[in-house]
Structure 1
């Protein structure tokens, strides 16, 4: 027999170490699975929240688009009415000038003095009409 110590370990000691190692590895794997599962659930929840927010924003965008189109239609109608009124103003101003010129001609021929008032500037420049100033509020512009 030799006096050198032999490194012989019993099979049960090695099995216990491997069993502890396997148990730690199994717990770590289980923990990782649970963590990955929670991560996937959070990711799915965030995706659902973003999808819901996208739908909500698309609905709001559609409502805003409808309001803008309505305001544009109202603007176009008002602009068309304004153009008609401008044309009528020009025509009436021309008629008044013609009538004033005929009246002046008649007064010159007959010798009968006629007082012909000048066309007021407010008729030629309707934006300067002396009318009460009424503020236009945003709620007036966006009534549907």
Structure 2
């Protein structure tokens, strides 16, 4: 059986349609692999061929469009501690899940509820402390 319509979609428009399909497919697969999207959401690729004939109906201008419908990014929630001191507003993300509670991070560093390393805090406090045992004796 002879094929009377000889339009190869991967070659039409000097391969332009295939390029568009490949680009949109990459977006779709990136979206599927993105852990911040819902895995069950369907993704869609739409190819639209718009054909406009001339007055003789023998020449048809054809435009090609490729669109993808992706899964949206899932929402992210956190808790923020807010306060005011000396007329200034302060806000920090609560990292420990409970105000005032310390926690260990991924590297086993002890941190405050807002994520500041405890060692850094203690170093700052100890800089002001005078260790009399380390001072040199004057005289004898």
TM-score by length of 1: 0.24
| More strand per residue | 2
| More helix per residue | 1
Q: Could you say which structure has the greater relative contact order, defined with CA pairs below 8 angstroms and 6 or more residues apart?
A: 1
